[in-house]
Amino acid sequence: MSDSTVHPEGGSQTVAATAQLTGILRRVASLGDILERSVGDATHPLKIQLERFDSPVHAVIDGRPTTLFGTNSYLGLNFDPRCIAAAETALKTWGTGSTASRVASGNQAGHAELERTIAAYYGRPDAIVFSTGFMANLGSIGGLAAEGDLILYDAFCHASIIDACRASGATFKSFRHNDPADLDRMLSEATVPPSRTLVVLEGLYSVWGDLGAVKDLATVAKKHGALVLVDEAHGLGLYGPTGRGVTEAQGAEHLVDAVVGTFSKSVGVIGGYCVTSHPALKALRFLARSYLYTASLPPAVVASARTAIGIIASEPERRADLWRKAERFCAGVEALGYSMCAAPGPVGAIKMRGLVQGLGFWRELLERGIYVNILVPPATPSGEVLLRYSVSAAHTDADIDLFLGVLSDLSQMSQTA
């Protein structure tokens, strides 16, 4: 997506959106053809199936024991005995599902308890829980901005944020990634009043693994009187003294009006949430379609999420262990001469020279028992092909040594080929 893209409302937008969708479908079809030709009969990256899990980071793929360096289970809580026990108790007490939305019979005691837990964790008066992180962005952004408003978002923001901007009815534009000067310029030139302007950022951009300039950008936004929303989907559990994310780590929580997050990464289940002191939060329960018109989270998920958040808040040693392993892994990758996209951290990406090399490298890793994510255009900035890795607290030093050893072998092979 290009920088400073404008998306006004109206019929012309519908025509433009249709043309854009047609172009996207053509590119996707072309990409699919390239993938099929490049992979041939080998394992297809879009058709991988995990046949069994043995731990948060160990699984069986195509009959082969595989170490996962492409999971978002940063803290390994999806296999934590306390989270599993909480889920089992809720399952036996409440059954398998809610079978209704929160505004019908799907509003159970556990949902309210989870919202109180999240609000207390963030030190905010209230929180609202959604069924997915995607829905949390749709509902929260749509609740804070509508027709006649302006949304300015970082050019590297997640697809759920862009879709939320489209669905809100507001005019929306992107500013250059992590560029306070560009945001300042756009706010200065805006004809919409600052009180009707929302700035949307991410704490951790997961494609490259780079941190958002949350404090600098939020300071600019507040200088102009705009609202600020930060998506901490990947930052939760990884950054900050209590794990609340990059916003906490940068000392910027007082500058941020709303924080959106997900339970599908560090928390280890599924779902999303929004915490804010803004009065619009109460209205979201009556206005957010992604809250009103979908079934609420299953009781077992709710119980596990609540337990996991308590662990994240009370066990900083788990986060410290993750960072020790992440820094060790990243130092090893850099020592091997690979080109990385961002500063060392639990999530990042190794740059490939193109699709053919990227697919070949990805396949070699998989055949040697290492799974990572391969990211290709249009999902990546600047048309790059990336191998995205993620380190988990559940990884052992032996797991990291195995991955580094395979990377060393492949590096030597490429140099002698």
Q: Which residues are catalytic?
A: 206, 234, 265
CA angle in degrees (0–180, nearest 5) for 397-403-408: 120
* Burial label, 332 (beta-carbon count in 10 A; 0-12, 13-18, 19+): middle
> How far apart are the C-alpha atoms of 194 and 174, rounded to whole Å?
16
Phi-psi group of 176: left, alpha or beta (phi > 0 → left; psi -120 to 50 → alpha; rest → beta):
beta
CA distances from 259 to 72, 132, 209, 235, 246 (A): 19, 15, 19, 11, 11
In SS3 terms, 151-206 reads as EEEECCCCHHHHHHHHHHCCEEEEECCCCHHHHHHHHHHCCCCHHHEEEEEECEEC
The gap between the terminal CA atoms of the chain, to the nearest Å, is 36
ω into 193 cis (within 30 of 0): no
Residue 205 in tokens: 């951009």
- Rounded to 10 deg, the angle between the 133-144 and 159-168 helix axes is 40
Nearest to 273 by CA among 134, 152, 161, 105: 134
